[in-house]
Amino acid sequence: MSVPFYNFNDLHTPEFKAELFERFSKIYDTNGFVEGEYNASFESRFAQMQEAKHCLLVANGTDALEIALEAHGVGQGDKVGVPGITFYATAEAVLNRGAIPVWIDIETESGLICPESTQRVIEQHKLKAIMPVHIYGMAADMEKINSICEQHNVAIIEDAAQAQGAFFENGKPIGSTHNLTTFSFYPTKNLSAFGDAGAILTQSDELALKIKTIRNHGRSELDMLGRNSRCDHMQAAVLDLKLERIEEYNKMRKAVAKHYHTTLKAAELPVTLLSDRHLETSSWHLYPIRVANSEIREKLQAHLQKHEIGCTPFYDQAMHQMKVLKNFKEGETKKAEELAGRSICLPMNPFLKEEDIQKVTSTIKAFF
């Protein structure tokens, strides 16, 4: 019995297909290919769910980051704080704006951006913006980070590509702050399109208008040029339909995470789990465990694969260690280096059964 990392078969049920094809058929009949009624419906419902005033759909999560930076006026030569552990796109967006990434260190325990490092890096470098990442689906400590950035007048763009439906510790949803918050709806995300899509949430009317203008070639009363980063109607139709079940599916992910947590803790293995404090609030996009070093991780990965268990090593290198980013050396990177190469993500999807989790945990036990 194999345990898949993702499970699209149970996600895309025959009932879902029938409803979706009805929507596609309507789009076909009305020739409403871009920015149609499902875009409007999704934008309004997703904004409401995440307690934001506006949601603006765009073409993908990387565009969402780039457009958010542009909306804040970040451009050539500006410095932007980026966590030392994240997906390439966070740094790519900075570089695509002609700006310079400055590394902010992370907390080894979670991989989330470290508020103390944020404070030091902001004091040492003149940053125009920072981009905390809600990595694996856990919320970064925005209360502390907001207060540091407010004192120094630094804009914040929260990269929530992995965190649809996640919560802060105060119970508020991600997207509810006064920052721009960006999402990716890549097919493997908790809330996913049938291709690429992304979104930006904001409480600001002014920034919402700017983002709308940028995503559609500058077409508005604002006197500026933009680009094409529209989200097409078919993707919006998928997202709008999937939105109905995201809360239920995130609850199922949480149950899987709790099950992993209890079983792996009880086994007393030489692996480090994420802290219990994330159990209730994370969107559990991924379930990473940390081992002592990259050699053990490679062996564990091979062992799991041999037993047909889907697993992925996230993240192999700290950002500044990547060949393509080696010229960017400013900032703090010690803990990111310590964490890189040591995490492996176990299968995580809402449809994992008791026996799947049992197989994963007993295979890990057997390895050690």
Ligand X SMILES: Cc1ncc(COP(=O)(O)O)c(C=O)c1O
Q: Does 164 bind ligand X (CB under 6 A)?
A: no
Q: Which is nearer to ligand X, 89 or 238 (CB)?
A: 89
Q: Which is nearer to ligand X, 59 or 309 (CB)?
A: 59
Q: Does 196 bind ligand X (CB under 6 A)?
A: yes
Q: Which is nearer to ligand X, 89 or 112 (CB)?
A: 89
Binding pattern to ligand X, positions 73-112, x when CB under 6 A?
-------------xx-xx----------------------
Give the SS3 label for residue 3: strand
> Using CB atoms, what's the residue nearest to ligand X?
61
Q: Which is nearer to ligand X, 38 or 186 (CB)?
A: 186
Picking from 154, 261, 190, 199, the residue whose alpha carbon sits closest to that of residue 47 is 199
Q: Which is nearer to ligand X, 349 or 363 (CB)?
A: 349
Question: CB of 262: closest distance to ligand X in angstroms?
Answer: 27
Question: CB of 90: closest distance to ligand X in angstroms?
Answer: 5
Picking from 281, 279, 285, the residue whose alpha carbon sits closest to that of residue 168 is 281
Q: Does 136 bind ligand X (CB under 6 A)?
A: no
Q: Does 133 bind ligand X (CB under 6 A)?
A: yes
Binding pattern to ligand X, positions 267-286, x when CB under 6 A?
--------------------
| Torsion sign (Cα): 172, 176, 179, 181 | positive
Picking from 271, 346, 344, the residue whose alpha carbon sits closest to that of residue 313 is 344
Q: How many whole angstroms separate alpha carbon 82 and alpha carbon 86?
A: 8
Beta-carbon contacts of 125 under 8 Å, excluding residues fewer than 6 positions away, are 79, 81, 102, 330, 331
Beta pairing, strands 198-202 & 54-58 = antiparallel
Whole-Å CA distances, 18 to 25, 63, 186: 10, 31, 22
Q: Does 62 bind ligand X (CB under 6 A)?
A: yes
Give the SS3 label for residue 298: helix
Q: Which of 39, 60, 202, 333 binds ligand X (CB under 6 A)?
A: 60
Binding site residues, ligand X, CB under 6 A? 60-62, 86-87, 89-90, 133, 159, 161-162, 184, 186, 196, 198
